[in-house]
Amino acid sequence: MTIEVRRGDERGLVVVTEEPHEERMREYVSVGPGLGTTFDGDRYVTPLTVVAAAADRRLSWSASGPDAALDRARRAIERRAPAAVWLREYPILREVLPPGAASRLTCELALAAGASGAPLVVSMDARGRRGASRGTSDLNDRR
């Protein structure tokens, strides 16, 4: 499934798929849930991991939230012009990020990827496929 994202003259393409095979994605920038989720009594707090992979090396950064991850990902996209930008494990991000943050992150990454000529690949893991209609239709959700 593909979705076009527009804001003014900016455009991005979102491709919703099952988990992409890493061997096919040699040069990419990815954003996904990091390790060490904690619960503060009201909600889960999960750091995000931003990875910039190229044929010869792979760099990884931890970001404290969606804004920090988006900033790091934008810089990596501008510097590396990847073949694709990958938003990993979207259903998990919807659960652990504040309301609306996963959708906003998706749109902003799609626009940043589109500016470099790359698509944004949004992956649904096994948990996402169990509720696939919920995961894919909620990309435009305000949650």
User: Would you give the distance in Å from CA 71 to the centre of its chain?
Assistant: 12
Q: What is the pLDDT averaged over residues 89-113?
A: 89
Domains of the chain and CATH, by start:
2-34+45-140 (3.30.420)
* Residues counted in the chain: 143
Whole-number Å distance between alpha carbons of 102 and 108: 10
* pLDDT digits 0-9 by tens, 33-74: 988 877 878 777 789 999 998 877 888 898 888 999 999 999
Query: Is the pTM for the entire model greater than 0.85?
Result: no
Please report which confidence band the pLDDT of residue 21 belongs to, taking 50, 70 and 90 as the band edges.
Answer: low
pLDDT higher at 98 or 32 = 32
Query: At 78, which helix (H) or strand (E)?
Result: helix 66-80
Contacts of 16 (CB under 8 A, 6+ apart): 1, 2, 3, 122, 124, 136, 139
pLDDT at 12 > cutoff 50: yes
Angle 66-80/101-115 helices, nearest 10 degrees? Answer: 10
pLDDT at 143 > cutoff 60: no
Whole-number Å distance between alpha carbons of 101 and 46: 12
